A and B are shown apart, each in its own frame.
Chain A
Amino acid sequence: MAGSAPELEAVIGLEIHVQLSTRTKMFCGCELSFGDEPNVHTCPVCLAHPGVLPVPNEQAIRYALQIGLALDCEIAPRSIFHRKNYFYPDSPKAYQISQYDIPICGPGRLGDVRIHRAHLEEDAAKLVHVGESGRIHGSGASLVDFNRGGTPLVEIVTEPDLRGAAEAAEWARLLRETVRQLGVSDVNMEEGSLRVDANVSVRPAGSEELGTKTELKNMNSFRFLQRGIEAELARQREVIAAGGRISQETLHFDPRTGDLTPLRSKEEAHDYRYFPEPDLVPLAPTEEMLREAREALPELPAARAERYESELGLEAEPAALLAREPEVATYFEAVCEAAGAAAGDEARAVSPRMVANWVTGELTATLRQREAEEDFTDPTVPAPSLARVVALVAGKKISHGSGKQVLAALVEQGGDPDEIVEREGLAQMAADDGELEGIVAAAVEANPDAAEKVREGNQKAIGAIVGHVMRETKGRADGGEVNRLIRAKLGL
């Protein structure tokens, strides 16, 4: 942070390119496939031979509709394809078919971020620069691989609603997870099937005006996205602190060094001479297509998190955490169901909130101690087992600490929670059991200094006595009960 007088607020918008995982290309019948010999997936259409015409891929349109619906976008009844004209060998027609003033998906929202639009377009071919570095500088020649040329893309543009680098990366993860769950893209950032560019600017906190933005490209992981934005925000704050001005430019992120280098300034940017693509008719999804797209939508992370908050009473953070991946969500819901944890059912001791705490807290922590990644479609601790553990703790059959012990045993060797409790002698001592009272009395006697301090009003001092009881009971006593008994013994 530059630390200059007016606090500078970050204003970030994202532009996301999603490669659709259709079987064929956007405007021809060539197969989509990665890693094959160059130029094997080509035809007269995607090589832009004279006389060829584009024919839109219906599957791509269906996928775009699903993305639009998942992002709560308005779907245009008739959207228009435009030509974006520019000369470069990665664009064989010398124009890209894209959408301009009437995209298929209009304004929408995902989480706290407004979506400006989402449109369909085709990807460019891949240039291979011959030479040692593989980069254009110092290369003697360039070759074109048209396999990727014409891959269907959905470009999603957000409003500048993000206020920090971490927030932007977190939101991008939510978007990735959302699109992944639609099953319309591999959304792999390293392979380029998900590409996230960021528009970054700063402005005095509280201001409504937007500052001059720069566009960051080539951040091919969420970590790099965050680092790139952080670096750019720091740079912009420094420039402004030094009395300078931000100039509008495109910056290229170098993952090796973390440096941002200018690509080209917008002043010399192309005039793309957009005009309506005369080879295509307006894109008008039928009612049936829209209905099918709606029906194909799974429950998506944002909606699921919303439901966890409103119906299950979860806090926002655990709700989002549990809702993001469908496998985790399914597991969580299975545990709730097994524990009989219906919302608002006060008769039951187990609440969804408790289950959420166990899944995101104790279970995650226990599992993390192992090297292997947890596969929630085949969980290490079956849902009914975890449900039983939570129920035992909630019903005060075992203490919280014992519950963690049972869980550790389940992770290590599996088995039945009740048998583990029995075997390990973890059953909680009943409150009305004279044994616990005896132990408490002994503990108070053994810690006269602490007892005196508690009597004088030092609440923290009780810890020593509680600790004593817990050691004696091997954790089988309920903490709350122990506290109550100690205070009673001390006449408080």
Chain B
Amino acid sequence: MSDLLQLSVAEAAARISARDLTAEEYFAAWQAAAESDELNAYLWSLTDADVYEVEQGPLGGVPVAVKDIFCTEGSPTTAGSRILEGYRPPYTATAVRLLDRAGARVLGKTNMDEFAMGSSNENSAYGPVLNPWDRGRVPGGSSGGSAAVVAGGLAPCAIGTDTGGSIRQPASLCGIVGLKPTYGAISRYGMIAFASSLDQCGPLTRDVTDAALMLAALQGRDPMDSTSVGIEGGIAAPSREDLSGLRFGVPVQLDGDAIDSGVREVFEATLKRIEELGGEIAEVSLPSSELGISAYYVLAPAEASSNLARYDGVRYGMRAEVDGDLTEMYEATRSAGFGPEVKRRIMLGTYALSSGYYDAYYGQAQKVRTRIAEDFIGAFSEVDFVVTPTSPSVAFGLGEKTDDPLAMYLNDFFTVPMSLAGIPAISIPAGLAEPEGGGTRLPVGFQVAAPAFAEQSLLEAAYALEQGIGFEREVAPLRPWNGGAA
């Protein structure tokens, strides 16, 4: 397998720009890699899409894997759902167009939990994605396909979406970098909505530099998205070498029992590494963040119940053949088209918005959300960053939590508060740990969160920490994909 696949995105783009490497050669190498997908990570390949002629720009000639939640004109876009089977959008998402404009080319569309609802990728209508480190385990979700292709050597970089942790958690479980920017940093236009007030696009990459490179291309105000604002001053490649003068807050509410011991060890080792790099560790209080999961599982399903109401079989996608009236057609189409988790959340959300229950559920959850945001503002008056493990455990086994939605929901315990507060957070690989009960060591992610629109300083700190951790030096090279053995 070609050495080309070892290059980071930044390195490859630099070589293409310097004419050391042709875009065609580089793309062909990744195309061949993508075709060898044994992880069920790709749903659709766009290899015939030679319409991408623009190869100038900061991502000139770089192939990108795109979560199947982004609309791509004329190409299948399913959001992992049966209900959109056969659907080909008449337009392309802003995020994809911006990547295109930066010179990148779409390599393929990646598998995901249906409508981004899930933390294991087992909710995809097109089968689960396998974790490249251990094919018996999940890659996390909902951007599991995007994380698996980057970790598994099937794409140099990818984009995904994060509503309550859907970029950071799979990045953590697959041992790569995942960034959820500030809400509003990147346009949501053309990104199929799950929970509109939380959904945010972001990159999944091998390293922090590549994440910065992609964010630089993706961020910006989009006239098609009223909630988008972009990042003032744009994003530059990070270069910080130490963490001196920076304060990192560890929430006192971090419950030791809820975290696997292996994860806790890596987390604590990383805190030490921060101090070695000159950073300071402090305690911060986020008293309302414990309510985050509860509030999230009211707000996100409420918005989803409305966002997913348009899938009615009238205009596009699947329509069930029924001999009946309009209501029967709606019911048959939606019954056959949606999977169980999506149905569960639509029902939860419909209930939460119902007359007589709104104040008790939706109204209350909004109050919690405001408090969580205020908690973070308070914390950031004392520290520069808030740090937590990204996920309470390493990758778990396929089928291990599918019968217990609540256990599955707790995977988002550390990532949901930042989503509710709308602030940026990055997960970087911090080391390996044995799963509870033993077995092959698996990646552990370390989450760093920053104040709204402080992406540049977040990336600088994450870069310095990444260099200090030296994750790649500790781990057997993942790329080219070596059959899942670490």
Instruction: Tell whether, in the assembled complex, residue A275 and residue B353 are in contact, meaning their CB atoms are under 8 Å apart.
Output: yes
Report the interface size for chain B: residues with CB under 8 A from the other chain: 44
Instruction: Tell whether, in the assembled complex, residue B353 and residue A85 are in contact, meaning their CB atoms are under 8 Å apart.
Output: yes
Q: Does A210 contact B (CB under 8 A)?
A: no
- Measured CB to CB, the nearest residue on chain A to B81 is A50
| Nearest CB in chain A: distance from B466 CB, A | 33
Instruction: Tell whether, in the assembled complex, residue A87 and residue B330 are in contact, meaning their CB atoms are under 8 Å apart.
Output: yes
Please provide the chain A residues from 32 to 49 with a CB less than 8 Å away from any CB of chain B in the complex: 44, 47-49
Q: Does A446 contact B (CB under 8 A)?
A: no
Complex alpha-carbon distance, A92 and B309, angstroms:
9
Instruction: Tell whether, in the assembled complex, residue A53 and residue B71 are in contact, meaning their CB atoms are under 8 Å apart.
Output: no
| Nearest CB in chain A: distance from B308 CB, A | 9
Contact with B along A162-196 (1 / 0, CB 8 A): 00000000000000000000000000000000000
Q: Does A279 contact B (CB under 8 A)?
A: yes
A94 cross-chain contacts in B, Cβ below 8 A: 306, 309-310, 312
Which of B226, B312, B316 touches A54 (beta carbons < 8 Å)? B226
A144 cross-chain contacts in B, Cβ below 8 A: 314
| Nearest CB in chain A: distance from B5 CB, A | 31
Which of A51, A56, A271, A280 touches B189 (beta carbons < 8 Å)? A51
Instruction: Tell whether, in the assembled complex, residue B89 and residue A49 are in contact, meaning their CB atoms are under 8 Å apart.
Output: yes
Complex alpha-carbon distance, A56 and B224, angstroms:
10
Count chain B CB atoms within 10 A of each CB in A44, A51, A281 and give the residue with the most: A51
Instruction: Tell whether, in the assembled complex, residue B71 and residue A49 are in contact, meaning their CB atoms are under 8 Å apart.
Output: yes
With A44-B89, A44-B91, A93-B309 as contacts: A51 and B190 at CB distance below 8 Å? yes
Instruction: Tell whether, in the assembled complex, residue A51 and residue B192 are in contact, meaning their CB atoms are under 8 Å apart.
Output: yes
Instruction: Tell whether, in the assembled complex, residue A52 and residue B227 are in contact, meaning their CB atoms are under 8 Å apart.
Output: no
**What is the total of A-B residue contacts with beta carbons within 8 Å?**
102
Please provide the chain B residues from 352 to 368 with a CB less than 8 Å away from any CB of chain A in the complex: 353-355, 358, 362
B226 cross-chain contacts in A, Cβ below 8 A: 53-56, 279-281
A53 cross-chain contacts in B, Cβ below 8 A: 188-189, 224-227
Instruction: Tell whether, in the assembled complex, residue B310 and residue A92 are in contact, meaning their CB atoms are under 8 Å apart.
Output: yes
Please provide the chain A residues from 86 to 129 with a CB less than 8 Å away from any CB of chain B in the complex: 87, 89, 92-95
B473 cross-chain contacts in A, Cβ below 8 A: none
Which of A44, A54, A92, A275 touches B362 (beta carbons < 8 Å)? A275
Q: Does B66 contact A (CB under 8 A)?
A: no
Instruction: Tell whether, in the assembled complex, residue A273 and residue B353 are in contact, meaning their CB atoms are under 8 Å apart.
Output: yes
Contact-residue size bin, chain A (C-beta under 8 Å from the other chain): 20 to 34
With A50-B84, A56-B226, A92-B315 as contacts: A275 and B302 at CB distance below 8 Å? yes
- Measured CB to CB, the nearest residue on chain A to B89 is A49
B21 cross-chain contacts in A, Cβ below 8 A: none
Instruction: Tell whether, in the assembled complex, residue A50 and residue B192 are in contact, meaning their CB atoms are under 8 Å apart.
Output: yes
- Measured CB to CB, the nearest residue on chain B to A81 is B226
| Nearest CB in chain B: distance from A80 CB, A | 13
Q: Does B402 contact A (CB under 8 A)?
A: no
Contact with B along A418-439 (1 / 0, CB 8 A): 0000000000000000000000
With A44-B90, A144-B314, A275-B302 as contacts: A52 and B358 at CB distance below 8 Å? no
Which of B70, B190, B305, B354 touches A52 (beta carbons < 8 Å)? B190
Q: Does A83 contact B (CB under 8 A)?
A: yes
Q: Does B449 contact A (CB under 8 A)?
A: no
Q: Does A244 contact B (CB under 8 A)?
A: no
With A50-B192, A53-B188, A53-B226 as contacts: A89 and B314 at CB distance below 8 Å? yes
| Nearest CB in chain B: distance from A48 CB, A | 5
Contact with A along B202-235 (1 / 0, CB 8 A): 0000000000000000000001111100000000
Q: Does A278 contact B (CB under 8 A)?
A: yes
Instruction: Tell whether, in the assembled complex, residue B188 and residue A273 are in contact, meaning their CB atoms are under 8 Å apart.
Output: no
B303 cross-chain contacts in A, Cβ below 8 A: 275, 278
Which secondary structure dominates where chain B touches chain A?
loop
B89 cross-chain contacts in A, Cβ below 8 A: 44, 49-51
Complex alpha-carbon distance, A148 and B226, angstroms:
23
Instruction: Tell whether, in the assembled complex, residue B326 and residue A89 are in contact, meaning their CB atoms are under 8 Å apart.
Output: yes
Instruction: Tell whether, in the assembled complex, residue A279 and residue B227 are in contact, meaning their CB atoms are under 8 Å apart.
Output: yes
Count chain B CB atoms within 10 A of each CB in A47, A55, A56, A279 and give the residue with the most: A279
Instruction: Tell whether, in the assembled complex, residue B309 and residue A95 are in contact, meaning their CB atoms are under 8 Å apart.
Output: yes
- Measured CB to CB, the nearest residue on chain A to B229 is A281
Q: Does B350 contact A (CB under 8 A)?
A: yes
Which of A50, A54, A93, A278 touches B71 (beta carbons < 8 Å)? A50
Complex alpha-carbon distance, A85 and B309, angstroms:
9
Contact with B along A61-84 (1 / 0, CB 8 A): 000000000000000000000010
Complex alpha-carbon distance, A87 and B312, angstroms:
9
| Nearest CB in chain B: distance from A157 CB, A | 20
| Nearest CB in chain B: distance from A256 CB, A | 27
A273 cross-chain contacts in B, Cβ below 8 A: 305-306, 350, 353-355, 358
| Nearest CB in chain A: distance from B180 CB, A | 17
Please provide the chain B residues from 223 to 270 with a CB less than 8 Å away from any CB of chain A in the complex: 223-227
With A56-B226, A83-B306, A94-B310 as contacts: A50 and B354 at CB distance below 8 Å? no
Complex alpha-carbon distance, A89 and B326, angstroms:
9
Please provide the chain B residues from 296 to 354 with a CB less than 8 Å away from any CB of chain A in the complex: 302-303, 305-306, 309-312, 314-316, 326, 330, 350, 353-354
Complex alpha-carbon distance, A87 and B305, angstroms:
12
Complex alpha-carbon distance, A444 and B361, angstroms:
95
Instruction: Tell whether, in the assembled complex, residue B315 and residue A275 are in contact, meaning their CB atoms are under 8 Å apart.
Output: no
Instruction: Tell whether, in the assembled complex, residue B309 and residue A49 are in contact, meaning their CB atoms are under 8 Å apart.
Output: no
Complex alpha-carbon distance, A58 and B79, angstroms:
32
| Nearest CB in chain A: distance from B98 CB, A | 15
Instruction: Tell whether, in the assembled complex, residue B93 and residue A51 are in contact, meaning their CB atoms are under 8 Å apart.
Output: yes
Q: Does B200 contact A (CB under 8 A)?
A: no
Complex alpha-carbon distance, A50 and B83, angstroms:
11
A275 cross-chain contacts in B, Cβ below 8 A: 302-303, 306, 353, 358, 362
Contact with B along A279-293 (1 / 0, CB 8 A): 111000000000000
Instruction: Tell whether, in the assembled complex, residue B90 and residue A49 are in contact, meaning their CB atoms are under 8 Å apart.
Output: yes
| Nearest CB in chain A: distance from B232 CB, A | 17
Instruction: Tell whether, in the assembled complex, residue A50 and residue B353 are in contact, meaning their CB atoms are under 8 Å apart.
Output: no
Contact with A along B192-203 (1 / 0, CB 8 A): 110111000000
B302 cross-chain contacts in A, Cβ below 8 A: 275
- Measured CB to CB, the nearest residue on chain B to A146 is B315
Complex alpha-carbon distance, A273 and B77, angstroms:
29
| Interface residues of B, Cβ cutoff 8 Å to A | 69-71, 77, 79, 84, 87, 89-91, 93, 188-193, 195-197, 223-227, 302-303, 305-306, 309-312, 314-316, 326, 330, 350, 353-355, 358, 362
Ranked 4 nearest A-B pairs via Cβ = A94-B309, A278-B197, A273-B353, A278-B196
Q: What are 15 A-B pairs at a CB distance below 8 A?
A: A44-B89, A47-B315, A49-B90, A49-B91, A50-B192, A50-B310, A51-B69, A53-B188, A94-B306, A271-B354, A273-B350, A273-B353, A278-B195, A278-B197, A279-B226
